[in-house]
Structure 1
Amino acid sequence: MNITVDENRCVGAGQCVLAAAEVFDQREEDGIVVLLDADPPQELAARVREAAARCPAMAIEVAG
């Protein structure tokens, strides 16, 4: 699994963090997504895909 985020598209909704806090965080100053792990363990795959699906700005891409 490979994850990429587009910080320019992110609106800071935080849905990704709610779904997979081990993989995503937000910058304190503006709430923009921070990718903590671009290649997380397979056991987090369902939560990562949920995070991408929840993103209102579609700023998260998951491959693999």
Structure 2
Amino acid sequence: MDLQEDCTCIICGEQKAEGIHIVSEFICDACETEMVRTDVKDEKYPFFIHQLKQIWYRKNA
């Protein structure tokens, strides 16, 4: 990815230049870091799961 290009994160919805692409979707570095540090018992965990499901839904739409 060109570091000058901003992409919209599927987790936070913000435009960011750095992160990862999974299939055709983008997750910014900040959200990736927060997700991997989130315990399954954390109340935000289901939110991350829901957002990540969008990768599958958009791929198969």
Name the TM tier (shorter chain): 0.3 to 0.5
TM-score by length of 2: 0.39
Q: Which has the higher helix share?
A: 2
| Greater C-alpha Rg | 2
